[in-house]
Structure 1
């Protein structure tokens, strides 16, 4: 060191420190094809070791129940980071958990729909502690959410989750788990032989592909073809005249603005409430909503939620008249662990933050692909905002198997937005900010879901 020029060395040391820091927190993007990775091979092995359970028994019995889960005023809203954990001040329409119970004498399974942004990971952990008390395994409970961005939060521990859901409240999480268990018990108490039918109707005018909505987007011309436009549902009819509807639609419940401190279920609440004016019970779950938005014309208002919910209800009720129901005897379920690559949260086209930084912000949570089979209808649950563009491929395989497939998102894990691989380099919210696990997430997750679907193939 030259003692006559100490400043020169001070800057050199600073430069070396910055270079070392950069080397610690930044990594090159890994573009190894997913079929050549350990996480892919491990997931395939898990799929083979934990196959879906499908049983053919007596007539499938169905029961249903709902429990109000609305927390006290002052609880944060969930759905938009720019709210900064804003608490709700009033209730426009309450939040519920709505549960269907299924049994064919050999096994039982449950379908749970929460009026929440997602099924929170912390709530799933609490539920898995109490499932044994109910005589259930985790794979027997199929979890979904409405994905309303104006329902309540308070269920996220890590900083990245808190930005979307507000300050963590352990008591709220425990209470919500108890309420879900209560709904399971109530639905179980009301099991009856039930005729079941599948229906769907086009609602193409109410959904758009927001990822491709910019005219400068190279895929803009595909924006109308790359949507999941069907409103799908199951119809249940019991011997005592009781009826119920389970509905799924692939459009984000994001009509209402982020700056309104009012709790609401957005358009799914209107749809369910209107259906329950004609049937005894109804539920709604978000389908493959990744990149798909609702089309509305009355602004970010409750008038728009009323309009969209009303139109969907009318479409469903019209199709309901043509749906035939019958007794079914097959019931199945599955849950395969989804092994994941290292997080690839990008800061540029070819660079990502080190995995430890991502995990410190969002946490490390297990992810699964889930499934539920009722007769010849198979539900597939993704731990993500799963893109509607994949549904056609899944539906095609289901039809080849002599079945119907219904895809839902938010099954108790969350791995970000899952979109087709070809969009990976687009500088969009879904493909840059919310793509957490690299360039092949779409192909990888879809392959696993198709393999899970294949395990439910009906065998004569």
Structure 2
């Protein structure tokens, strides 16, 4: 082979390699899509879904309330969920057990349920199992409002896809089926316990116990907003029966991430302390994570059980002090809703303007339905987000509710998961919440919040 032929062969090989790399790059990355969400098909489809599946609101007899809890603690050797760096680590002992805590509501015309699970999220696989079981209970999925405590030291084993296994350990089909069965059991027990019950809403400031961790660094351009950009209220519903029995449904927006990731122990973190201490004074208590996106607990004694004890204990004290001042009354209004949240193609970024191709994201995490959910009891409307939803949005929702003569309470992790949802202005920050955990693009916050506002408006009296 002469020199010219060799040079020609090398040029051809080089060109072929370059072409292959360009084609490969074109397959695995895409430019970021910044189309305003109101100009998209997915937005229009969700608006249509809202019209076609409006919230159900009925005015019947006095609302009866029941409550029950079921222990959902799996055996030791089950993986923990909450931190990828654990690499599926299994827990070796139980510090405090995990539960499904359920409220049942009925006004004679319809019924609805509120379920709080001591888990990182309400797993998508568990939701799928539950939806197979609801018909046997005579229920539609929208009648069951799902929430989680978001403890990062609760159990995993409920995620099939690689990206979810990274956070929750090896998938266990038997565990998922059993967990769904236990949720159904809690619904049945709460239903059997229905009684006429007075209901009241209360809240108290817990500003010293929550911070906005997204704005923690002084070089952050939004650092000066760190105090005002928080949801600081500890909210609760008070249930009171004629015999004096009292129950509490509580919600707070601070991540239960106090305990260390390397300890092989199962725990509910500070929500467990809050619930246990309240149940020393009242008959039944549940806790759910509020709008915890970018919100974390403030604690001084390190990642220890002393810290969980102090945070949970202070919250319980604040709630007890406010509880005695909250009036209750019989109500007759009961409502619920669930609207499918249509989504854009995933926009999981690898740089400021470049994202991975959607098929790669879907291959890692799967394609799961997402919903905005709602539950109305009297003049209180609970709104459920399929995400780590930021507490910075709560003021908008509360303002709308107050204009309707109502109270709004926001919870996260309702059976779907679309990542962290933070205000659009933070999108270009190079932070965990806004880069690694923003899955669906620069307008996710405005989009989801608008749909939640519209869902809330369907509960207008």
- Superposition TM-score, scaled by structure 2 size: 0.99
2:414 maps to 1:381: no
Q: Distance in 1 between matches of 2:70 and 2:368?
A: 27
Q: Distance in 1 between matches of 2:6 and 2:448?
A: 62
Q: Distance in 2 between matches of 1:301 and 1:9?
A: 63
Following superposition of structure 1 onto structure 2, how do residues 236-315 of structure 1 map, counting pairs within 5 Å? 236-315=239-318
Q: Distance in 2 between matches of 1:193 and 1:4?
A: 91
Q: Distance in 2 between matches of 1:4 and 1:287?
A: 68
Q: Distance in 2 between matches of 1:352 and 1:309?
A: 40
Q: Distance in 2 between matches of 1:4 and 1:383?
A: 60
1:394-448 per-residue CA deviation (whole Å, 9 max, x = no partner) reads 0000001000000000000000000000000000000000000000000000000
CA drift of 1:15 comes to: 1.1
Secondary structure at 1:315 match in 2: helix
Secondary structure at 1:8 match in 2: helix
1:376-410 per-residue CA deviation (whole Å, 9 max, x = no partner) reads 00000000000000000100000010000000000
Of the candidates 405, 410, 413, which is equivalent to residue 407 of structure 1?
410
Could you tell me which residue of structure 2 aligns to residue 230 of structure 1? Answer: 233
CA drift of 1:10 comes to: 1.7
CA drift of 1:239 comes to: 2.0
Of the candidates 384, 397, 401, which is equivalent to residue 400 of structure 2?
397
Following superposition of structure 1 onto structure 2, how do residues 110-149 of structure 1 map, counting pairs within 5 Å? 110-149=113-152
Following superposition of structure 1 onto structure 2, how do residues 12-23 of structure 1 map, counting pairs within 5 Å? 12-23=15-26
2:459 maps to 1:456: yes
CA drift of 1:12 comes to: 1.9
CA drift of 1:171 comes to: 0.2
Could you tell me which residue of structure 1 aligns to residue 6 of structure 2? Answer: 4
Q: Distance in 1 between matches of 2:125 and 2:387?
A: 16
Following superposition of structure 1 onto structure 2, how do residues 325-364 of structure 1 map, counting pairs within 5 Å? 325-364=328-367
Could you tell me which residue of structure 1 aligns to residue 448 of structure 2? Answer: 445
Q: Distance in 2 between matches of 1:285 and 1:40?
A: 29
Q: Distance in 2 between matches of 1:243 and 1:212?
A: 39
Following superposition of structure 1 onto structure 2, how do residues 28-43 of structure 1 map, counting pairs within 5 Å? 28-43=31-46
Q: Distance in 1 between matches of 2:259 and 2:274?
A: 15
1:73-128 per-residue CA deviation (whole Å, 9 max, x = no partner) reads 00000000000000000000000000000000000000000000000000000000
Larger deviation, residues 37-46 vs 1-10:
1-10
Q: Distance in 2 between matches of 1:99 and 1:3?
A: 78
Of the candidates 52, 55, 71, which is equivalent to residue 55 of structure 2?
52
Could you tell me which residue of structure 1 aligns to residue 218 of structure 2? Answer: 215
Q: Which runs of 5+ in 1 are unaligned?
A: none
2:182 maps to 1:179: yes
CA drift of 1:240 comes to: 2.5
2:371 maps to 1:368: yes
Of the candidates 145, 148, 162, which is equivalent to residue 159 of structure 1?
162
Q: Distance in 1 between matches of 2:28 and 2:443?
A: 23
1:142-186 per-residue CA deviation (whole Å, 9 max, x = no partner) reads 000000000000000001100110000000000000000000000
1:21-47 per-residue CA deviation (whole Å, 9 max, x = no partner) reads 001111000101000000000000000
Secondary structure at 1:105 match in 2: coil
- Superposition TM-score, scaled by structure 1 size: 0.99
CA drift of 1:241 comes to: 2.3
Larger deviation, residues 2-11 vs 209-218:
2-11
Q: Distance in 2 between matches of 1:241 and 1:360?
A: 53
Secondary structure at 1:3 match in 2: helix
CA drift of 1:247 comes to: 0.1
CA drift of 1:242 comes to: 1.6
CA drift of 1:7 comes to: 2.8
CA drift of 1:188 comes to: 0.2
Q: Distance in 2 between matches of 1:342 and 1:12?
A: 32
Q: Report how many aligned residue pairs link the two structures.
A: 458
Runs of 4+ aligned residues of structure 1 deviating over 6 Å after TM superposition are: none
CA drift of 1:9 comes to: 2.1
Secondary structure at 2:342 match in 1: coil
Secondary structure at 1:106 match in 2: coil
Q: Distance in 2 between matches of 1:155 and 1:273?
A: 26
